[in-house]
């Protein structure tokens, strides 16, 4: 993707926290992640499995699940582990297909 899909401005790579270099639109002041990529969302439980983790991302006020794009060469499970560790600084100590315990 060479141009912003919202405004058409040429994109330039910019360092995005936890993501590395990501195409950035100066006009929209927004990162433009590839729109064809596959992403994961993670439901992260505490050890007693009675709470889930929500985070704030990129300075936004909303609370969301930990999520992120699958990188080239990763499978979805590897992405889940990487994203949790990058976004929260917590370490995944066990995991199943649908439950993550940290």
Q: Return the range that interacts with Zn ion (CB under 5 A); candidates 20-28, 51-59, 75-83, 88-96.
A: 20-28
Contacts 24+ apart (CB under 8 A), 79-85: 79/40, 80/40, 80/42, 83/40, 83/42, 84/42, 84/44
Torsions phi, psi of 2, nearest 5?
Answer: -105, -20
Considering the complex, state which of residue 6 and residue 77 has its C-beta at the smaller distance from Zn ion: 6
When the beta carbons of 3 and 51 are compared against Zn ion, the nearer one is: 3
Say whether residue 26 binds Zn ion (CB under 5 A).
Answer: no
Given 11, 23, 25, 44, the residue binding Zn ion (CB under 5 A): 25
Q: CB 68: neighbour CB atoms within 10 A?
A: 21
Q: What phi, psi does 83 have (nearest 5°)?
A: -65, -40
By C-beta, is 4 or 53 nearer to Zn ion?
4
CB nearer to Zn ion: pick between 48 and 60: 60
Binding of Zn ion by 53 (CB under 5 A): no
CB 102 within 8 A of CB 44: yes
Q: Which residues bind Zn ion (CB under 5 A)?
A: 4, 6-7, 9, 25, 27-28
């Amino acid at each position: 993707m060479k141009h912003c899909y919202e405004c058409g401005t040429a994109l330039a790579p910019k360092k995005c926290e936890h993501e590395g270099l990501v195409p950035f639109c100066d006009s929209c002041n927004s990162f433009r992640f590839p729109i064809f990529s596959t992403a994961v969302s993670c439901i992260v439980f505490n050890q007693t499995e009675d709470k889930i983790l929500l985070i704030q991302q990129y300075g936004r006020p909303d609370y969301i699940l930990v999520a992120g794009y699958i990188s080239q060469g990763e499978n979805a499970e590897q992405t889940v582990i990487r994203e949790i560790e990058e976004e929260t600084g917590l370490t995944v100590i066990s995991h199943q297909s649908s439950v993550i315990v940290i």
